[in-house]
Chain A
Amino acid sequence: MSHRILDRDQVEHIAKLARLRLTEDEKDLMAEQLSSILDYVAKLNELDTTDVDPMHHAVDRSNVFRDDNPHKSIDHNEALANAPQTDGTFFIVPRVI
């Protein structure tokens, strides 16, 4: 295992953005593991890409469109079927304000 690229503060920040609650031990573990992943990927930086165009996309295609024609797909009840909580009209979530 090499030096840590990510410190604990950064791990806490990322955990917060991802809405994850980590124990102190987990924070250490994540710093370790994420660092080694980044370290591994950093190998790509060794390549000289001066004359390589940035890749916009994994597949070599562009301009995939649909026409502006409405179509109904699922009905209201199906849409709500996976709601954590519903009154039959809305998705209900814990208050956010």
Chain B
Amino acid sequence: MKYEAVIGLEVHIQLLTETKIFCGCSTRFGDAPNTNVCPVCLGMPGVLPVLNKKVVDFAIKLALATNCSIAPVSQFARKNYFYPDLPKNYQISQYEKPIAEHGWLEIDTQNGPKKIGIRRIHMEEDAGKLIHDESKPVSYVDFNRTGVPLLEIVSEPDIRTPEEAAQYLKTLRDIVVYLEICDGNMEEGSFRCDANISLRPMGSTELGVKTELKNMNSFKNVQKALEFEIRRQSALLDRGEKVVQETRLWDAARGVTVGMRTKEEEQDYRYFPDPDLVPVVVDKEWIDEVKNTVPELPRDKKLRFMDQYGLPEYDAEILVSDRHLADYFEETIVRFNRPKTVSNWILTELLRELNQRECSITQCPVSPERLAELLQLIDDETISAKIGKSVFEEMFSTGKSARTIVEEKGLKQVTDTDLLEKVVSEVLEQHPKEVEKYLGGAEKVIGFFVGQVMRKTQGKANPKLVNELLRKKLEEKRSK
């Protein structure tokens, strides 16, 4: 039978705050185990959590960027379960009254744009990290991550294919990175995704039994795990068997999902309002304040770049992939208003140099002003495009301006007709055989002559002019 997949995603993002959600411990990644801990995040008796205001700011920011309604009053709740990475034996999360609900974001699909609903966004604390010993029957616990602020973003089950799931994740990741609330690093776990998936016969509106997939640390793995799960569930249903509601772990090495033997009891979290934390009240004033810090979002920016600057989607997509790269582009075209030329230079020369030096755009030694100056020099034919590229490399490694490099190295294009005419005559005299060929109809030889002239002028001759002069001289010979 033909089935339709119904997919909902739960994303956890680690927030880029300096301190944890309920205490002043640093959130720094990679510090020695159990050094960024205190009585609050270690769950010692009698301590009192106090909410980090920035976490609420960030939650409001994301809520605005995903078209959510922000709750005037929201409340923290305790989610009770025993696990060694959770020292209090409960996680502080939000349950009945999340900070934001009922939003959506738009993704690009093969059939055009599609809205994916956001059911809710809530604030919570991260758990610690467990390391298991292969040789001894013990686990090691590092509580540095305990209490690092998280936002959980729960989508509606509006996703129908693994590709849409990947696209949703990419769109959401781009947004949180743009908002500068999360670094979006899936491999390091600062952007995590669990997926719920069920199948139903095509055309049916009832929901099937779902499984929850975990342990996918890249967009590609999410997509592959969902693809696998669709095959697995289809095969079960085709055989008349039932899908069991369970959590399954993605095994990337084997490319399969494996059922976790969990008992029903473990899902009984007995949520209740946390008496240690007072309600969070967000008024219009606060929302307006945060609204001012929400930048233009990546998808809007992409569409604007295509519309306003006439860029192809491919160019726009790459330029907006990094907010600072998009800014760099726009700062450059303020001074050199040829969007496509600027885009070409950024996409090829600039990104190549940055990648080679493993350097980010914010550390780029060539400022937008200087790139514009270089492009101007090429545009007014002071230097050739080819020399321009080597000047650019030089700018990158020395930090000097294009004008300085051109002057120091004497790279100005030779547009002096008398001088070039002399060189052209020389070249023709030195290569009588090629001249014969040209006159015999093999006009392609002109490329050879241009090359010779360029060599004699160290690449500085204006190629257009050289071409003209060559043709003029050769035609003169023909008529003689």
Contact = CB atoms under 8 A, between A and B. Distances in A.
A2 B277 CA distance: 36
A21 B173 CA distance: 45
Contacts of B332: none
A83 B280 CA distance: 34
B51 A65 contact: yes
A91 B34 contact: yes
Interface stretch (B60-68, B140-148, B197-205, B420-428): B140-148
A95 B132 contact: yes
B24 A93 contact: no
A92 to B, nearest CB: 5
- CB-based closest 8 A-B pairs: A90-B140, A73-B38, A65-B53, A71-B24, A91-B141, A68-B54, A93-B84, A62-B281
Interface of B: 17-19, 23-26, 32-35, 37-39, 42, 44, 50-54, 56, 73, 75, 80, 82-84, 97, 130-133, 136-143, 265, 268, 270, 273, 275, 277-281
A61 B268 CA distance: 30
B139 A62 contact: no
Main SS of chain A's interface residues? loop
A13 B50 CA distance: 33
B18 A63 contact: no
Main SS of chain B's interface residues? loop
B51 A64 contact: yes
Contact of A73 (B24, B50, B82, B265): B24
B139 A96 contact: yes
Nearest to A55: B273
A50 B175 CA distance: 43
A52 interface: no
A89 B32 contact: yes
B275 A57 contact: yes
Contacts of B52: 65-68
Contacts of B265: 13, 16-17
A92 B141 contact: yes
Interface of A: 13, 16-17, 19, 56-59, 61-71, 73-74, 76, 79-80, 82, 85, 87, 89-97
B274 to A, nearest CB: 9
A94 B33 contact: no
Contacts of B73: 56, 62
Contacts of B37: 74, 79
- Most B CB contacts (10 A, CB to CB) among A70, A71, A89, A93 go to A70
24 contacts: A57-B75, A57-B273, A57-B278, A59-B278, A62-B280, A63-B281, A64-B51, A64-B277, A65-B50, A65-B52, A65-B56, A70-B25, A73-B24, A74-B39, A79-B37, A79-B42, A79-B143, A89-B33, A89-B34, A90-B141, A92-B138, A92-B139, A92-B141, A96-B83
Contact of B32 (A17, A65, A76, A95): A76
Contacts of B277: 64
